[in-house]
A and B are shown apart, each in its own frame.
Chain A
Amino acid sequence: MKTDLLNFTLHLADTHLILGQRLGEWCGHNFVLEQDIAMSNIALDLFGQSRSLYQYAAELQGEGKTEDDLAFLRGERQYKNLLLVEQKNGDFAHTLTRQFFYDVFHLLQCEELLKSSDERLRAIAEKSVKEVRYHLTWSSEWVIRLGDGTSESHARMQKAADSLWMWTGEMCTNAPYEEALIKASIAPDNTKFKAQWTAKVQEIFNEATLKVPMTDNQQSGGKSGVHSENLGFILAEMQILQRTYPGLSW
């Protein structure tokens, strides 16, 4: 059970860390200053959440490791983040759609974690939930603006939704380490989010005049450490300092 809890905590932490890292790639490159800051703010929220979770994971592990060891010194197969969040940024529409798909799920999950029987996860969820609500407000707003915008923005949004769809199914599945935690009311049963997730995406896409992709072809494996080709490149950039200068600090 303790190993399951450790794995689940790492899964949450990794997902937030990798998505934050992806968003961070936009810093200084966004199309307007205001959105550059908005996206960096979201990245920093996610880093903050992942820090709390890595600190908890380090305690659960009990090997005297730190949050930095867990974030920067693990290998690709040890990462348990969702496949969705490691997908490339692409254009603004692509990054935004990836964010929106995740935000809808993240809020459902976070609200359910408020009821977790694990005190620490509950406390972290309480701190995170306001941030996540804003993330969803921000991404929904932009999905509607661009989907229901010009023909160019609409086409880019639809293309992004279509190409990202295959990575969304994994969110509403349970990894083996989650099964026992679900029984103990520590982790939420992700399969129960499927209907609400689909309904929310449908609602915003309707307003954005976008079509919800219908394909059933879905990829999974990230939660168990089997990743797409993207993660290795992310880790290479993210970990190079700690790998080159072990123990380096400010």
Chain B
Amino acid sequence: MDNKNWPLWEVFIRSRQGLDHKHVGSLHATDARMAMENARDVYTRRQEGVSIWVVESKNIHASNPDEAAQFFDPAEDKVYRHPTFYDVPDDIEHM
């Protein structure tokens, strides 16, 4: 088996209940089942997680770095989009 022919997978780990899955890295595997076991062996051996997602890298569509300026810069001066222009009552917590 030639490793070069094995598809690439992206691995997402949730470290604790209630937290989000976070991207931790990638690996090679021939199918989802193998990707899951490889992710377990490679990325959770130091108690990093309680849940794993794997997705084949080709299924992820990334924004184009060349378009970063038109994508993201226009939001720079739109401070009014942040919900910071009203007072939060004192007894509302966790805001």
Chain A interface residues (CB < 8 Å from chain B) = 31-35, 37-38, 41, 134, 137-138, 141, 145, 153
Nearest Cβ on chain A to B64's Cβ, whole angstroms: 30
Asked, given contacts A32-B28, A141-B33, whether A38 binds B3 with beta carbons under 8 Å apart, the answer is no
A35 neighbours in B (Cβ, 8 Å): 38
Q: Please, could you name 11 A-B residue pairs with CB atoms under 8 Å apart, sorted by A?
A: A32-B1, A34-B28, A34-B38, A37-B42, A38-B37, A134-B40, A137-B37, A138-B37, A141-B33, A141-B37, A153-B1
A34 & B33 in contact (Cβ 8 Å cutoff): no
Q: Is B91 an interface residue (CB 8 A)?
A: no
A31 & B1 in contact (Cβ 8 Å cutoff): yes
A34 & B1 in contact (Cβ 8 Å cutoff): no
Asked, given contacts A31-B1, A31-B3, A32-B3, whether A37 binds B45 with beta carbons under 8 Å apart, the answer is yes
Chain B interface residues (CB < 8 Å from chain A) = 1, 3, 6, 27-30, 33-34, 37-38, 40-42, 45
CA distance A13 to B80 in the complex (A): 67
CA distance A32 to B3 in the complex (A): 7
B3 neighbours in A (Cβ, 8 Å): 31-32
**Partner among A34, A37, A41, A138 whose Cβ is within 8 Å of the Cβ of B29:** A34
Q: A34-B28, A34-B38 are in contact. List 20 more A-B contacts (CB 8 A).
A: A31-B3, A32-B3, A32-B6, A32-B28, A33-B27, A33-B42, A34-B27, A34-B29, A37-B41, A37-B42, A38-B38, A38-B42, A41-B41, A41-B45, A134-B40, A137-B37, A138-B37, A141-B33, A141-B34, A141-B37
Name the CB-closest residue of A to B1.
A31
A33 neighbours in B (Cβ, 8 Å): 27-28, 42
B40 neighbours in A (Cβ, 8 Å): 134
CA distance A150 to B34 in the complex (A): 17
B37 neighbours in A (Cβ, 8 Å): 38, 137-138, 141
CA distance A111 to B42 in the complex (A): 27
CA distance A137 to B27 in the complex (A): 20
Nearest Cβ on chain A to B36's Cβ, whole angstroms: 10
Name the CB-closest residue of A to B40.
A134
CA distance A35 to B40 in the complex (A): 11
Nearest Cβ on chain B to A43's Cβ, whole angstroms: 12
Nearest Cβ on chain B to A117's Cβ, whole angstroms: 32
Nearest Cβ on chain B to A218's Cβ, whole angstroms: 32
